[in-house]
Amino acid sequence: MGGVPVITGYYRYTDIWFDWHKALPNPEDSNPLKAALSHDSITHPDHPLHVEGVEGVQLYMGTLHTGESRLLFSSAQVDYVRYWLHAMKLTNEMIPLPYSDCLLTLSDLKFVSKVTYPDGSSLRGAIKAIDKMNKKLKGNNPTLAHRRQIFEQARSLWDSKRGSWLAIDFENWERENKLITEFGWRLIQWNEKKEVETHGHWIVQEHETYRNGTYVPDRRYNYNFGASEKVTKATLRRKTHDLIAPLAKEGPLYLVFHDHKQDIKYLESLEAPIDSRSIILPDPGNTPTTGIFVVDTTDLFAALEGEDAANNNKRSLEQVCRHLRISTENLHNAGNDAYYTLEAARSMASGGPVDLQREERWPNRTEQQGVKVKWKPWEESSDYSDEEGILGDYPVVIPPEGLEGED
C-alpha cells in the first residue's frame, strides 16, 4: 500500500462499515464506498488493502481498558480507501475522513494486535462472535484479564519477527531440587523474516549418579532431537553464560519457560546475565530493541483456555501440548521439554487473537457464563486413546499393559 500515511489511530470496524457512507456530503459517493468495504470485496486478493503474504484481509483487534474487544481498521487503511476511490475515479472528490471523535488512539486501548479473515464469510461472523465474547467476559477475574494481555503481547512480539526466542529447561535430582542434572534449550531467530533454529541438551557429568525414577521419570539419555553433550558443572556455568549473553546484546531476548520461577533461580545460581527484576513483557504496542523478557507458556495457555483461577492453578507441559495437539515423547528430558515448550509458545503466539484462536481450536466449547473451555474427560487424561476424537463421544481407554488381545 504505497503512499499510506503513518498509523495515528484506529476506527471501529462497525463505525466504518455501518456509518461512514451515511455521513458523506455527496450521496453519490456512498455506493462506491460500500462496495469497496463489502465483506467479499475487502477479502479479495485484488483489493487495495490486501497485504502481500496474507490470505484475505488484515485488520486489527483492539482491547479497551474495560477489557472489551473491538475489531478495528487502522487510520492508514481508512485514509487509503478514500485515496484509492478517488484515484480510480469512483468518487468525484476525495471523501472526508470520519469524525475525529470516532478515532481511537493508543491511549484509548490497552493493546492492539493484527487479525486476518480469509474470506467474506469469516468476516461476516466476526462482529457477532466478538459481541458474544465481550458479554461472556464481563465480571471475569482480574487474573484472567492480566493473562489475556500477556497473550496478546506475546502475539504482537512474535509477529514482529525480531530478536531471539530461547526456551530453557532444567532437570534436577528429585530428592534435592538445587542439584541440576540436565540443561536443555531451543532457540528461534529470524533472518529476513525466516525462522532459523538451533537446540541442544547438556548432561551434568558430576551428577550422573543421581537418578530419578521415584517421583518423576529419569529420561536424561532420551533426547529426541540429536546427541546429548556431557559437561562439567564449571562448563555448564560457562556455556549457559555464552548462550545467553550474546543474544541479550543483540536484543531483544525472550526467555521462554513452562512455569518460570524455578528455572530463573537456576539461571541465577549459574550467574547467567539476567535480572529477575526486569523480566516483565514490554508495554503493549512497544516492540523493544534491547532487554531480556520472560514468556511463560503456563500463562499463555491459561489465557487461551479461559482459566481465571489463582496463579498456582497451572497446567503441566504434557497437558498443554495435548490440548494444543502437539505430539510429545520422552518428557522430563530437559532438551525435549525445552523443545516442546517453545513449540507450544510458537503455536499460540503465531495464531489469532485469544478469543478467536480459542474458538478455532475448540468450537462452541466455552461455558455459558465466561470463556472457560469445557474439556471432555478424555481430553484431560492421557489414559484415553487419541482415536476418541474420531469415534465421537465414546472414548477408547488404552488397556493396561499385558491385557491387549485378551477376551
One-character DSSP codes across 287-302: --SS-EEEEEHHHHHH
- What is the pLDDT, as a whole number, of residue 139? 63
Query: Can you read off the three cell numbers belonging to residue 57?
Result: 484481509
Q: Which residues pair with 294 in a beta bridge?
A: 255
Q: Where residue 407 falls among pLDDT bands split at 50, 70, 90?
A: very low
How far is 287 from 358, CA to CA, in rounded Å? 25
Q: Nearest CA to 330 among 225, 199, 224?
A: 224
What is the amino acid identity at position 102?
C
pTM: 0.79
What is the amino acid identity at position 117?
Y
Residue 339, pLDDT above cutoff 70: yes
> Phi, psi (5° rounding) for residue 71?
-80, 135
Element of type H or E holding 130: helix 120-137
Query: How does DSSP classify residue 15?
Result: I
Residue 290, pLDDT above cutoff 90: no
How many other C-beta atoms lie within 10 A of the C-beta of residue 116? 16
Q: Phi/psi class of residue 58: alpha, beta or left (left: φ > 0; alpha: ψ in -120 to 50)? A: beta
Q: Where residue 366 falls among pLDDT bands split at 50, 70, 90?
A: confident
Using CA atoms, how far residue 209 sits from 168, 178, 182, in Å, is: 23, 15, 12
Four-residue CA torsion sign, 57, 58, 64, 66 = positive
Pick the CATH number of 160-375 from 3.40.1800.10, 3.10.180.10, 3.40.50.300, 3.30.420.10: 3.30.420.10
User: Would you kindly state where each structural domain of the chain is located, as residue ranges?
Assistant: 10-138, 160-375
- What is the pLDDT, as a whole number, of residue 108? 85
How far is 318 from 382, CA to CA, in rounded Å? 9
User: Is 9 strand, coil or helix?
Assistant: coil
Residue 319, pLDDT above cutoff 80: yes
Do 33 and 81 form a contact (C-beta atoms < 8 A)? Answer: yes
Element of type H or E holding 114: strand 109-117
Q: What is the pLDDT averaged over residues 258-281?
A: 83
Q: Encode pLDDT of 52-97 as tens digits.
A: 988 999 999 888 877 788 899 999 999 999 999 999 999 988 999 9
Residue 259, pLDDT above cutoff 60: yes
Query: How does DSSP classify residue 366?
Result: B
